[in-house]
Structure 1
């Protein structure tokens, strides 16, 4: 049987699919079908990440087998449009949850008036002496741990690191990712971790980043711009900025049968939900790069949405 990583590489068209390999996830297989479903449990709920990662002819039947395995309390998040249509056809209630953003590196340029402010921020960080280096697998990461600690302290004592729907930079799978650090005068001031993306828009996913409090403005923009240049030179097609919940919401993206109650809930969080998830600041950063693709992403409930299901999803992400 192929490994989960091999299955993702062969059959995934979800730009965040590498996150299915995060520690804490469980994988469902059925010997009759080529594919896997990634999920974790929270309370009485099974929380699935992405849709069935499977050969096209096996996706529907693998979903049926997985739903039978987990029972009624199944919630699937970060579904792509094709996944959403599949789940809706199988009786799930499906709503848009947010959107993901991607830049076509073959067309990207920082020239032009729309990027004046971004270029100025990048130039400011480079004048401050920012140097960017890629860390090899096995390099000491203590300086990055210190950035994490400072970053969390700045957020406040009640803030916890998000998980499940965000990337990691540890474990044996780190050798498949690319990790870049920015230093000024030899001191690490920020880093970005990138994961591979498969499918119709192959490339890399900007999946985890941290900045040391007090670092000069433009550090993260300059770090990412430098990496974009290197990825382009390496032949990567797309840079994905990942999923941001409660953004890009629109009635044109909803499927028939969507829950009106959940739609109102998502729009409420879009306006006032920064205490739950920093969507506004994430969206601002992603829009700086003028993404070429904005992809709606969905959540699916077995039956109607329940407050308990949403609560368990928030718990699984460490948002509450």
Structure 2
């Protein structure tokens, strides 16, 4: 994007060094482009969507270089008659984007589990324990496996899972991870089988920053599979991660959840805030936020953090529309 090739290994190096966003690894997704300033540290990940450049996850750069890199990106966009919109910004990003002329609105929240504190004792976890027990009684066997060994079976589950969502539903992109591609060597895949058949899987990605650990990313199961298989797979993974000394398991970003006035940015657009609240109340066909949130809340996350959407200049309905398009929500 800057006229020179940025190797994916260089992107990963920048994320490891500078990202403090639990979902930052998703910047590695195939289809993303990268903006850098030659000779300076840091990277910005984005996708083109109509006249917009959709930036993912903020500015991944040293603190002293973040504003310079963002302003350079805005100059780059202006020269190409494009407008920048950024999604999945953290609270720490808000002031920077406001200084650089953005309107910033809360768009959802992320949910995280502190593994050293985690346990399933107590009445609040009765339903979760029962679901896991039921899945294990059905013969579920869980193991960590290389993706390459079961790629064909995984694709079969993906096809059946997507068909079960309805004929017009497309697979969400950009704000979720992927399997395969150059980042796969850094992901971990836990798979569940019943009577030898792959029935479900969960993919985990590395999470960087002050709450380093793992990101619970893609999770799929065959339609009609006994309830509790995903919970049992995740519990197996949690036990493995805790045994390795991992501190955090991040369940990631869920749009249109956790929207509260006290979490709103001072520069927020009131019409945009109203629109996002309408999506939270009535937008299940746009994004399955309620079902995602229900799964995450089963684990009683220790940390819930707001995440933000930023518009260069004033908020524009077209930017929200293009974001929904680039994520395949429409």
The two structures have a TM-score, normalised by structure 2, of: 0.95
Pairing 1:236–2:246 present: yes
Which of 157, 165, 186 is the matching residue for 1:176? Answer: 186
The farther-off stretch of 292-301 and 1-10 is 1-10
Deviations along 1:90-116, one digit per CA (max 9) or x if unpaired, are 221000000000000010000111100
Pairing 1:160–2:164 present: no
Q: How far apart, CA to CA, are the structure 1 residues paired with 2:267 and 2:216?
A: 33
Q: How far apart, CA to CA, are the structure 2 residues paired with 1:93 and 1:32?
A: 30
Q: In structure 2, the residue corresponding to 1:309 is in which secondary structure?
A: helix
Pairing 1:275–2:285 present: yes
Pairing 1:286–2:296 present: yes
Cα deviation, residue 313, structure 1: 0.6
Cα deviation, residue 32, structure 1: 4.6
Q: How far apart, CA to CA, are the structure 1 residues paired with 2:107 and 2:177?
A: 19
- Give the equivalent residue in structure 2 for 1:5: 12
Cα deviation, residue 245, structure 1: 0.4
Deviations along 1:201-244, one digit per CA (max 9) or x if unpaired, are 11000010101001001111111011100010011110000000
- Give the equivalent residue in structure 2 for 1:17: 24
Q: How far apart, CA to CA, are the structure 2 residues paired with 1:140 and 1:109?
A: 31
Q: In structure 2, the residue corresponding to 1:201 is in which secondary structure?
A: coil
Cα deviation, residue 31, structure 1: 2.0
Q: CA RMSD in A?
A: 1.1
Which of 83, 87, 94 is the matching residue for 1:84? Answer: 94
Cα deviation, residue 137, structure 1: 4.9
Cα deviation, residue 135, structure 1: 1.2
Q: In structure 2, the residue corresponding to 1:149 is in which secondary structure?
A: helix
- Give the equivalent residue in structure 1 for 2:3: none
Which of 208, 226, 229 is the matching residue for 2:236? Answer: 226
Q: In structure 2, the residue corresponding to 1:65 is in which secondary structure?
A: helix
Which of 248, 252, 269 is the matching residue for 2:258? Answer: 248
Which of 208, 216, 219 is the matching residue for 1:209? Answer: 219
5+ long unaligned stretches in structure 2: 1-5
The two structures have a TM-score, normalised by structure 1, of: 0.98
Which of 102, 105, 114 is the matching residue for 1:104? Answer: 114
Q: In structure 1, the residue corresponding to 2:93 is in which secondary structure?
A: helix
Q: Contact conserved, 2:147 with 2:180, CA < 8 A, in 1?
A: no
Q: How far apart, CA to CA, are the structure 2 residues paired with 1:54 and 1:44?
A: 25
Q: In structure 1, the residue corresponding to 2:291 is in which secondary structure?
A: helix
Pairing 1:70–2:70 present: no
The 3 A distance-change label for structure 1 pair 165 and 311 is same
Cα deviation, residue 289, structure 1: 0.3
Deviations along 1:55-101, one digit per CA (max 9) or x if unpaired, are 11101111111111112511000000111221012221000000000
Q: How far apart, CA to CA, are the structure 2 residues paired with 1:45 and 1:245?
A: 20
Q: In structure 1, the residue corresponding to 2:183 is in which secondary structure?
A: helix
The farther-off stretch of 129-138 and 278-287 is 129-138
